[in-house]
């Protein structure tokens, strides 16, 4: 996206938020004592689109641009570095680095009669140890010599490998003398039982393993088994698929040079395009953690050069990746590289107009057959790109189902098994010197895991309001490049400060605020990133994924904001202690991370209904969209909730309304306090 256009978009979003000097509302009618706090907490400070604008700005500035092209050699060096970095630092991280070394098994099962000229062989293969993929091989009845092979992936279609348009394509490929492998995709077809939901790869990320490796290995092992067939031609290897299958197609094709022809259909766009066109924002597998720190989809398209590439998009796509905005930036990135090789004809595009919606129907299929003919059957006068009618040969899903082992591993069970021995730190030390060393090294590791930053703050009061009993000041606090809304509530002359957080935003916590006010606290009710008023206004969790793919961590942003707010509060009133108080599992985790990282400004922590363990997220199959910050890559590998709380000690951590897991895990912190020479039980004796 051109900088000028991005700036205009951001400017428009920013103008939607209130700015300006302090507004004193002395003449407004005073609310009654009973609802003053509620109204103050609900007052808008930064506006609903401010965080969206700032998230776009943060992501846009970090997304890599195409490098200057000087020579084929220089480009190939750049492309190999991107491939290596993506495979090493994004895909095969942690335990995933062992999965790719395992020798995958293939088991051939029944053979079905197909139609004239081909048969269908059922099989299953291991993507990684114990995780079997059901698949179908469409095989010509007679083959002479080596033949092309085609990996057919599918997208977000409930029918999975049984989708009729996919069956027709595989049948046509087999009737043209090719081996066509039709594989199932997680969450679709035979994998629609909830244990293969795509966001479950974020649970694997939480354990410090590359969740995206499950998708990559499914495709890579598919190529392995195709190329192991006696009649497979390693010089003629194609991949194609629609939508999520289009994403899979470019993903495996860019990073695996065994692919010699790629045809992604309506399946992806540049990250820069996605922050302009929100319909293109991708799910967990399309936006893997840290991918945009090493490459972008525009680069990945260029990495196909000089291999045959057909980019298919739909003119009126009613889902995503419409041709008008998705295709031009990809061609702009890739065409100069193909030109560098002198292979411009090998990069082609096709825009479907009939029906022009999200599809891989006949027009798009015939474009693919044509590309296959020009690439794999060049000079063969008998080859035709016209589709062979196959509607009568489509089979029901039940007929195409492939038996799977009873002990089949799923994405959910994989995350569960990874989480069991975590975190890696073992028992807390028992001597004071060892405890201090553990805490100091732990803080450094935590800062690295959450990608914390030391933000500077600049606070501006936007309004003040006086009630019969309480006073309210509304602050817009600029924390680095982020705007954080803060409502300051006071009653009389407080002697202490509490920073108040709630999972559903500050406006849901008037009762909590009144309790602290009655205890002579100054209340700073804060909505950090992704909470309350600071939640991203549109396509929210998809922007959390975007923030992670450019190398940030939502949890690190939140904790860094809270630490900065605490430093601001302490600077403004050095004599007042600062308590960080939260309500809920999300803000409870934010509070612990912030307090662990900020020792000087945060004096104690009070948690209401926190998580007892990050493992609860995995055990209950918590949806990523509900709490994206909790799925911070590698957090559970290093720290569980108890270890985060231990980093806060010897400052007091008090826990109200613990669930059973929190009662068990966090109740043991009492012994840790004694290691520090303190006598404090973290579990509150009664609800407050």
Q: Tell me the per-residue pLDDT of 611-667, one tens digit each, with 9 for 90 and over.
A: 999 999 999 999 999 999 999 999 999 999 999 999 999 999 999 999 999 999 999
**Residue 149 above 60 pLDDT?**
yes
Instruction: For strands 261-265 and 308-314, give the pairing.
Output: parallel
Dihedral sign computed on CA atoms, order 203, 209, 211, 215: negative
Q: How far apart are alpha carbons 285 and 542 in whole angstroms?
A: 11
Q: How far apart are alpha carbons 474 and 202 in whole angstroms?
A: 36
**Residue 688 above 80 pLDDT?**
no
Question: Cα 177 to chain center, whole Å?
Answer: 40
Give DSSP secondary structure letters for 538-557: SSHHHHHHHHHHTT--HHHH
CATH 3.40.50.1820 fits 3-60+433-675, yes or no: yes
Query: What value does the mean pLDDT take over residues 345-363?
Result: 98
- In 3D, which of 326, 319, 377, 366 has the Cα closest to residue 157? 319
Q: How confident is the model at residue 685 (pLDDT cuts 50, 70, 90)?
A: low
Of 31-40, 198-207, 458-467, 478-487, which gets the smallest average pLDDT?
A: 31-40
Query: Quick one: tokens of 222?
Result: 């598919």
Domain ranges of the chain: 3-60+433-675, 104-378+391-418
Q: What is the pLDDT of residue 538?
A: 86
Q: How confident is the model at residue 34 (pLDDT cuts 50, 70, 90)?
A: low
Query: What value does the mean pLDDT take over residues 206-221?
Result: 98
pLDDT in tens, 131-147: 999 999 999 999 999 99
Hey, which residues does 500 pair with through a beta bridge? 525, 581
Cis? peptide before 423, omega within 30° of 0: yes
**In terms of pLDDT, which residue wins out, 537 or 683?**
683
Q: What is the pLDDT of residue 7?
A: 47
**Considering all CA atoms of the chain, what is the largest pairwise distance in Å, rounded to the nearest integer?**
92
Dihedral sign computed on CA atoms, order 540, 544, 549, 551: positive
Q: What is the pLDDT of residue 11?
A: 46
Domain 104-378+391-418 sits in CATH at: 3.40.50.1820
**Residue 243 above 90 pLDDT?**
yes
- In 3D, which of 250, 253, 184, 170 has the Cα closest to residue 214? 184
pLDDT in tens, 268-315: 999 999 999 999 999 999 999 999 999 999 999 999 999 999 999 999
Query: Quick one: tokens of 46?
Result: 């930064």
Residue 664 CB partners (closer than 8 Å, separation 6+): 612
**Residue 244 above 70 pLDDT?**
yes
pLDDT in tens, 504-524: 999 999 999 999 999 999 999
**Residue 460 above 80 pLDDT?**
yes
Query: Collapsing DSSP states into helix, strand and coil, what is residue 667?
Result: helix
Hey, which residues does 459 pair with through a beta bridge? 477
What is the H or E stretch that residue 239 is in?
A: strand 232-242
- In 3D, which of 251, 265, 361 has the Cα closest to residue 321? 265
Q: What is the pLDDT of residue 687?
A: 45
Q: How buried is 574 (Cβ within 10 angstroms: 0-12 exposed, 13-18 middle, 19+ buried)?
A: exposed
Counting runs of H as helices and runs of E as strands, what totals does the chain give? 25, 18
Q: How confident is the model at residue 425 (pLDDT cuts 50, 70, 90)?
A: confident
DSSP letter assigned to residue 428: P
**Residue 9 above 80 pLDDT?**
no
**Residue 336 above 60 pLDDT?**
yes
Q: How confident is the model at residue 537 (pLDDT cuts 50, 70, 90)?
A: confident
Instruction: For strands 578-583 and 496-500, give the pairing.
Output: parallel
Query: Collapsing DSSP states into helix, strand and coil, what is residue 579?
Result: strand
Query: Collapsing DSSP states into helix, strand and coil, what is residue 372?
Result: helix
Question: Cα 53 to chain center, whole Å?
Answer: 19
**Residue 578 above 60 pLDDT?**
yes
**Residue 154 above 50 pLDDT?**
yes
Dihedral sign computed on CA atoms, order 554, 557, 560, 562: negative
Q: How far apart are alpha carbons 354 and 340 in whole angstroms?
A: 34
What is the H or E stretch that residue 414 is in?
A: helix 411-419
pLDDT in tens, 36-70: 999 999 999 999 999 999 999 999 999 999 999 99
Residue 154 CB partners (closer than 8 Å, separation 6+): 160, 161, 163, 166, 182, 183, 184, 185, 188, 189, 241, 242, 244, 245
- In 3D, which of 65, 63, 68, 64 has the Cα closest to residue 336? 68
Provide the b/e sequence for 53-91 (b: ≥16 CB within 10 Å). bbbbbbbbebbbebeeeeeeeebeebbeebbebbbeebb
Query: 605 and 648 in contact (C-beta within 8 Å)?
Result: yes
Q: What is the pLDDT of residue 12?
A: 46
Q: How far apart are alpha carbons 405 and 608 in whole angstroms?
A: 44
Q: How confident is the model at residue 684 (pLDDT cuts 50, 70, 90)?
A: confident
Q: What is the pLDDT of residue 427?
A: 84
pTM of the full structure: 0.94
Query: What value does the mean pLDDT take over residues 74-96?
Result: 98
User: Could you write out the three-class secondary structure of 33-100?
Assistant: HHHHHHHHHHCCCCCCCHHHHHHHHHHHHHCCCCCCCCCHHHHHHHHHHHHHHHHHHHHCCCCHHHHC
Q: How confident is the model at residue 686 (pLDDT cuts 50, 70, 90)?
A: low
Q: Kindly calculate the radius of gyration of the chain based on its CA atoms and give it in whole angstroms.
A: 28
């Amino acid at each position: 996206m051109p900088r000028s256009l991005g700036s205009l978009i951001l400017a428009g979003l920013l103008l939607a938020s209130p700015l300006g000097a302090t507004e004193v509302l002395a003449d407004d009618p005073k609310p009654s004592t009973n609802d003053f706090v509620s109204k103050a907490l609900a007052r808008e400070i930064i506006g609903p689109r401010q965080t969206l604008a700032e998230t776009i700005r943060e992501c846009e500035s970090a997304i890599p641009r195409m490098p200057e092209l000087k020579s084929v050699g220089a480009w190939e060096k750049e492309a190999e570095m991107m491939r290596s970095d993506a495979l090493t630092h994004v895909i095969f991280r942690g335990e995933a680095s062992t999965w790719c070394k395992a020798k995958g098994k293939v088991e051939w099962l029944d053979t079905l009669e197909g139609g004239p000229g081909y048969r269908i062989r059922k099989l299953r293969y291991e993507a990684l140890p114990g995780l079997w993929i059901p698949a179908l091989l469409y095989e010509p009845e007679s083959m002479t010599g080596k033949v092309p092979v085609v990996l057919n992936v599918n997208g977000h279609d409930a029918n999975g490998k049984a989708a009729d348009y996919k069956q027709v394509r595989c049948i046509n490929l087999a009737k043209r003398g090719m081996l066509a492998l039709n594989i199932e995709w997680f969450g679709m077809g035979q994998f629609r039982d909830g244990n293969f939901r795509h966001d479950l790869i974020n649970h694997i990320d939480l354990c410090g393993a590359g969740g995206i490796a499950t998708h990559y290995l499914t495709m890579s092992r598919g190529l392995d088994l195709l190329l192991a067939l006696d009649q497979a031609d390693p010089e003629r290897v194609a991949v194609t698929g629609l939508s999520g299958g289009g994403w899979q197609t470019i993903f495996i094709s860019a990073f695996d040079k065994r692919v010699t022809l790629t045809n992604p259909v309506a399946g992806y766009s540049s990250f820069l395009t996605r922050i302009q066109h929100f319909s293109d924002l991708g799910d967990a597998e399309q936006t893997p953690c840290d991918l945009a720190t090493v490459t972008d989809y525009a680069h990945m398209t260029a990495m196909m050069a000089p291999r045959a590439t057909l980019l298919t998009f739909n003119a009126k796509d009613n889902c995503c990746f419409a041709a008008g905005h998705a295709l031009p930036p990809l061609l702009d990135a890739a065409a100069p590289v193909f030109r560098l090789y002198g292979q411009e004809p090998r990069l082609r595009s096709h825009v479907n107009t009939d029906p022009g919606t999200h599809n891989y129907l006949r027009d798009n299929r015939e474009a693919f057959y044509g590309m296959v003919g020009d690439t794999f059957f060049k000079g063969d006068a008998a080859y035709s790109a016209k589709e062979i009618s196959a509607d009568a040969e489509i089979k029901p899903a039940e007929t195409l189902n492939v038996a799977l082992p009873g002990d089949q591993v799923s994405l959910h069970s994989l995350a569960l098994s990874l989480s069991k021995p975590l975190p890696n730190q073992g028992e807390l030390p028992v001597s004071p010197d060892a405890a201090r060393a553990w805490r100091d090294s732990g803080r450094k590791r935590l800062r690295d895991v959450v990608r914390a930053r030391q933000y500077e703050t600049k606070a501006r009061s936007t309004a003040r309001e006086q009630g019969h009993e309480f006073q309210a000041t509304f602050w817009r606090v600029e924390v680095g490049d982020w705007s954080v809304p803060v409502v300051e509530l006071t009653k009389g002359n407080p002697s202490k400060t509490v920073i108040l957080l709630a999972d559903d935003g500050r406006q849901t916590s008037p009762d909590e605020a009144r309790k602290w006010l009655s205890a002579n606290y100054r209340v700073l009710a804060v909505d950090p990133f992704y909470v309350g008023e600071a939640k991203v206004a549109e396509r929210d969790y998809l922007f959390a994924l975007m923030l992670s793919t450019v190398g940030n961590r939502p949890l690190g942003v939140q904790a860094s904001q809270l630490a900065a707010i605490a430093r601001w509060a302490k600077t403004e009133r050095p004599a007042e202690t600062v308590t960080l108080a939260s309500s809920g599992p999300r803000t409870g985790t934010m509070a612990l991370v912030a307090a662990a990282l900020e020792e000087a400004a945060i004096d104690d922590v009070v948690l209401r209904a926190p998580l007892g363990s990050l493992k609860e997220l995995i055990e209950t199959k918590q949806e990523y969209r509900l709490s994206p910050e909790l799925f911070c890559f590698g957090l559970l590998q290093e720290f569980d909730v108890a270890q985060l709380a231990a980093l806060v000690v010897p400052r007091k951590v008090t826990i109200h309304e613990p669930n059973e897991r929190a009662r068990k895990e966090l109740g043991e912190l009492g012994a840790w306090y004694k290691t520090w020479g303190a006598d404090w039980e973290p579990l509150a004796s009664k609800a407050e």
